[in-house]
Structure 1
């Protein structure tokens, strides 16, 4: 698998300008709706609230997704995957240690620490801005947060594939020769520490969009976790006729096992794998807009890196602080950037902007 993809700077500039329009779209639509309705909610004294009546347990579920809820779901599904042999003999001691540490460290230490210190620091940087946007109606706040969070992560993810300088910070996530709950959080610690949307979410929460951030974060966690699962839960939507219309919309809107597994394939030569694209996390629609996606409704035969040398778990977690001792590894001292392989010319975009090509039915 050739891991990084060269992209002309002109294409990145073009897509960046499109992104600016996408970031501002929900805000513009919100004010347009205010203009049409004649409402001016920013003039009303208000505090942050859901804006609709929701059962207490619904809010509790989304609150707990960021604490014990999502980890509990991942552990249960992971046990199911393991018990039916999805990991086969690929989950070695080294892989298991890496997956477990990457699962615990960000959730227990890193992300809570960033959120805590961020919310402590922001009052000094923006002393008069706390809850300044609390007047924003919940659903508009939800739309603004969903675009801001996921489009930012799309770019963070995409650039780590397309810029060789950044690739090795993301490589750990792609080294797993399997898909499943175990590797969902598998990332280099520096990649996680600079996860741009963490800071964005903290800032917008301080500004008064905490509830939208809570629900966006919960829904996104469920979608991205399900997309990494080795359980092909989306397959019935392609094989059962009356579910086909739902499947057609779903695979273009959000990440599914078929589209995201393609991103983790060890090759693109089979017409199914597409590690050069399918960068979307919660929303797959970004890949359609920017022409970086492919939809085949099939699943790769193999995952990971063809030049993977099973580097030590600590090197994958903490590179470049700790380097691998494996000769020829990208993570070794003075190691090659892309496993010693020559970069191939970028292939033509498979999915044209705002249009996906379904090249094969599910098998």
Structure 2
């Protein structure tokens, strides 16, 4: 049984999840759930973000796990293998997602980090493709995958694989344009389920708000809703807004379609768009869309 669980989550974290999300992405496209703003430039960003890391990361992670970890953590391989599966899952889920909450929040607060994270927010639409849409340098430097690999090395392999798989499914579902949480708000008898779920994990309604082009409509909240797998961090730290509605527009208010290669490989390549944060000599943050202004009051509307 353990071998079966291990096999399922190993495949899920390698080829299984990308294939599953590729199928969901095709469904989204066929049903017209992406809007007309998904042009060739946007398609290239999404394609490169999906494909290139899967070619670059395996050798990087192999070197990290086989060469660096034995040097950085000598004699510690398998040291936590005695931890029961359940408690391993709890510890890893909290540690991994809480650190990513603060990592994500800092990428909105620190202008230099925002320029890396900006690529993830530039998409003028939502869908599973946006889940993968990231600057490659940012992924190589700041990916949580390194933490998962370290935990596997320390002997928490099964719990780490389980949490990584579940987190990927929840976060990708929160990015999807398939609004699976909508029935929970439509049917009154499901409202108690919605109340608990939307405060515990990220849903399309709460995470789409984070990708909104504006917060002026009372729905979008790009200055909060930082939770990745768990939305409860936003509740605890006062950065959450729950409206059970979806933004009318997504992206960045001043986005002028920076070239895909600049968004994917900044700072190795710079944007030719004047006044872009990614252009040579451009501002770290355009003041008409200041990401450092963080909301601290939880606003809940049902």
Tell me the TM-score normalized by structure 2: 0.95
Unaligned runs of 5+ in 2: none
Give yes or no for contact 1:297–1:358 (8 Å, CA) kept in 2.
no
Q: Is the 8 Å Cα contact of residues 35 and 125 (structure 2) preserved in structure 1?
A: no
Which of 44, 60, 65 is equivalent to 1:114? 60
Distance 1:335 1:271 in 2: 30
Report the alpha carbon displacement of residue 347 of structure 1 after superposing the two structures with TM: 6.8
What's the Cα RMSD here?
A: 1.8
Assess, with a 3 A threshold, how the Cα gap between structure 1 residues 203 and 340 changes in structure 2: closer, same or farther. Answer: same
Matched, 1:173 2:120: yes
Report the TM-score when normalising by structure 1. 0.79
Q: Alignment partner of 2:117: what SS?
A: helix
Work out whether residues 156 and 196 of structure 1, in 8 Å CA contact, stay in contact via their aligned partners in 2.
no
Q: Is the 8 A contact 1:328 1:340 kept in 2?
A: no
User: Is the alpha carbon distance of 1:344 and 1:249 closer, same or farther for their aligned partners in structure 2, counting shifts above 3 Å?
Assistant: closer
**Residues 55-94 of structure 1 mapped to structure 2, 5 A cutoff:** 56=4, 58-94=5-41
User: Residue 344 of structure 1: CA displacement?
Assistant: 9.1
Moved >6 Å (runs of 4+): none
Gaps of 5+ in 1: 1-52, 352-356
Secondary structure at the aligned position of 1:208 is classed as coil
Q: Give the corresponding residue for 1:46.
A: none
Match in the other structure for 1:14:
none
Q: How many Å apart are 1:55 and its aligned residue?
A: 8.3
Distance 1:245 1:132, change over 3 A: same
Q: Which has the larger radius of gyration?
A: 1
- Equivalent residue of 2:160, what SS? helix
Kindly tell me the number of residue pairs found equivalent between the two proteins: 301
Contact preservation (8 Å) 1:172, 1:187: yes
Which residue in the other structure is 1:21 paired with? none
* TM superposition shift of 1:222: 0.3
Match of 1:309 in 2: 256
Give the 5 Å matches for 1:200-239: 200-239=147-186
